[in-house]
A and B are shown apart, each in its own frame.
Chain A
Amino acid sequence: MSVPSGQASVAAKAVRRPRSGFIWQLMGNRKAAVGVVIVLFFVLLGVFGPFITADPAAFVSAPHQPPSSEYLLGTTGQGQDVLAQTVAGARTSLAVGFLVGLAVMVIGAAIGMVAGFLGGWVDSVLSLLTNVFLIIPGMPMAVVIAAYLRPGPVTIALVLIITGWAWNARVLRSQVLALREKDFVSAAIVSGEGRARIIFREILPNMTSLLMSGFISATVYAIGAQVGLEFLGIGDVGVVTWGTNLYWASNNAALLTGAWWTVVPTGLCVALIGFALVLVNFGIDEISNPRLRSDPNWSRMLKRNKLEEGLTTPVVRRVGQ
């Protein structure tokens, strides 16, 4: 998969400007491509699925019926269709997940970049704030804040943003600090470019991969933490989400009556989307840090030629890859 696409891009170089954009590079990476496909699948499921499946809240059959041809994933402890609940849960959980991921990334990036770029006392104050938020454990804090607010997806989103922004801020601050010392930034300052232009035109484009992986890990965090909080009963237990599905399953003692089908689909969905997002992040990491590429072609070539793996990392790749 990766070899032909690599050759294709080499061939394309001969005729026109190669597709060197970040997205194209990403899609050329096998891990990232698999991840993107899975994420797209779930997004489509969340957007269009609820129109196809039955009403998730309707009581359709006897409780805790195992999967059958009529109800493909069985029924819950309240006689609802598990398939419909899982699909409807995808919509709410993914919407909250992606929105929170975006908000966390934007807030974290803004605070981290301002701190890194301005330096001085602003940096000291913001870094201190970031570190304090990083060290206070998120879930108990989220519970304390959410318990006083009206339960529902908005509260969950708000709480997740409050407890989640700090990590991105720290990562992006250190990246800005590193970039600020680079020659091209000094050149931009010397040539009299404005501060905003330096931030947005010179520094920001160099952080695309970091911003993207920040957004992705924030989304993974948001989906996981949201499911956790709702499982605890912090959310609005009347709204169908992945978290409340598990909450009701646990409340109806699903596992102790052997009704595994109420728990497995939701958990698999959460894990699959999380894993897919992590795969995309691996892809981004490998593109921006060549040392991490564990190169199957390289080790195959070594084996074929009966060579020992050297101790240095093969950063330089063979022609044609």
Chain B
Amino acid sequence: MRHLLKNLGLYALAAWASLTLNFLIPRMMPGDPASAMFARFAGQLQPEAIDALREAFGFTNEPLLKQYLTYGSNILQGNLGLSVAYFPATVTEVIGTGLGWTLLLSGVAVIISFFVGTLLGVIATWRRGGWLDSTLPPLLSFLGAFPYFWLAMMLLYGLGFTLGAFPLRHAYSDTLAPELSGEFLGSVIEHMVLPATSIVIATLGGWMLGMRSTMVGVLSEDYITLANAKGLSQPRIMFHYAARNALLPNVTGFGMALGFVLSGSLLTEIVFSYPGQGYLLIQAVRNQDYPLMQGIFLTITMAVLAANLLVDILYIWLDPRTRAR
């Protein structure tokens, strides 16, 4: 429990740090969203309007501390400001349209990658020096060296464009309206195959190698020898004795890796014009939509923190030692 509380403190601090970073960076740097907005509507806005815009974006002449407090209370109410690119929509509304897709895509990809990679690691280590052990690690680390989005581009070109086996863009067919029907869900899955595959391919090696290096250590433990001496069946030793204990460091890595995967999936989404956070992010970069960029940064950070918290709770369930203290 102490472990969980300590981490909870860390997450709170990380959340506060990213909020503060979000507040400080635009105020420290030259250029602000209001000027960017003003430049976008070059000539269409009266010069007086820029002050009103500043006000709308929270860049007032008040003391910094007061601005900070206003900012804080706005965030707590879920008010992230106005989007420049989608003006007059609020950042919260814009992000709301994309967050679900990102969580779905990267969630599915991470879970598949974690399970398949870990399983491959267990099997490869169990047969040390076998063909699986000698071919997979180099192959997967080679694939892992490609940028996620480049793999996505190749899949898009090979399977999507040349063979026409999978749709090239968007999260579901343009002819369908979102609803809870078999046809719509089928379309969503079909559109998810390529982006998810590219993320899985890029991340599989990490899980496998991580599992392999802890599994190697666990296999030389005395209790494995004992289990063998007792004559337990090999699969039982492999999964219940070895893999279960070797899994723990990988679970910790799971939380840490989510940030990387989410970052990578943002770029993958761009390749497939998948309507998630990544797609919004590139819109924000192109249009210098600072509030939207910051909003995406905040929501992704919060998603990672929440996922880490879940992993911590999972860890307590998996490792009895954390419960004792």
Contact = CB atoms under 8 A, between A and B. Distances in A.
Nearest to A150: B30
B211 interface: no
A35 to B, nearest CB: 11
Interface of A: 128, 131-132, 134-141, 143-145, 147-149, 220, 224, 227-228, 231-234, 246, 250, 255-256, 258, 260, 263-264, 266-267, 270-275, 278-279, 282, 289, 291-292, 294-296, 298-299, 309, 311-313
Given A148-B29, A291-B216, A256 B263 contact: no
A8 to B, nearest CB: 25
B113 interface: no
B230 to A, nearest CB: 13
A123 B301 CA distance: 25
A149 B290 CA distance: 12
Given A148-B290, A232-B282, A128 B220 contact: no
Interface string B19-31: 0011001100111
Given A138-B259, A233-B282, A291-B220, A128 B10 contact: yes
Interface of B: 10-11, 13-14, 17-18, 21-22, 25-26, 29-31, 127-130, 133-134, 138, 141-142, 144-150, 153-154, 156-157, 161-162, 168, 213, 216-217, 219-220, 224-225, 228, 256, 258-260, 262-264, 266-267, 270-271, 281-282, 285-286, 288, 290, 293-294, 296-297, 300-301, 304-305, 308
B20 to A, nearest CB: 11
7 contacts: A128-B13, A137-B304, A147-B288, A255-B161, A271-B146, A273-B145, A289-B213
Contacts of B128: 294, 299, 309, 313
A147 B10 contact: no
B29 A311 contact: no
Q: Give the dominant DSSP class at B's interface.
A: helix
Contact of B285 (A147, A278, A299): A147
B153 A141 contact: no
Given A132-B14, A267-B153, A309-B129, A137 B147 contact: no
A135 B145 contact: no
A85 B122 CA distance: 43
Nearest to A242: B147
A267 B10 contact: no
Contacts of B220: 291, 311-313
B123 to A, nearest CB: 14
A233 B149 contact: no
Given A135-B304, A140-B296, A294-B128, A232 B281 contact: yes
Contact of A294 (B25, B134, B285, B296): B134
The 5 A-B pairs of least Cβ separation, nearest first, read: A299-B129, A139-B263, A274-B145, A148-B29, A137-B259
Contacts of B288: 147
Given A131-B10, A255-B153, A271 B145 contact: yes
Nearest to B143: A271
Given A263-B153, A270-B147, A294-B128, A143 B293 contact: yes
B290 A271 contact: no
A292 B217 CA distance: 9
A220 B128 CA distance: 28
A274 B206 CA distance: 14
Given A132-B10, A132-B17, A147-B293, A140 B146 contact: no
Contacts of B148: 228
A301 to B, nearest CB: 10
A242 to B, nearest CB: 9
B10 A232 contact: no
Contact of B18 (A141, A148, A313): A141
A258 to B, nearest CB: 7
A148 B297 contact: no
Contacts of B31: 148
Nearest to B31: A148
Given A135-B305, A250-B153, A291-B216, A143 B297 contact: yes
B216 A292 contact: yes
Contact of B271 (A250, A270, A312): A250
B13 A134 contact: no
Contacts of B267: 139, 228, 231-232
Nearest to A170: B256
A42 B162 CA distance: 31
B11 A313 contact: no
B10 A295 contact: no
A273 B228 CA distance: 43
A144 B294 contact: yes
A140 B13 contact: no
Given A135-B14, A275-B142, A311-B224, A232 B147 contact: no
A140 B297 contact: yes
A135 B150 CA distance: 25
A135 B10 contact: yes
Most buried by A among B127, B147, B156, B297: B147
Nearest to A139: B263
Contacts of B217: 291
Contacts of A266: 150
Contacts of B26: 148
A295 B304 CA distance: 39
A231 B293 contact: no
Contacts of B219: 311-313
Contacts of B281: 140, 143, 232
Contacts of B225: 311-312
Contacts of A147: 285, 288, 290, 293
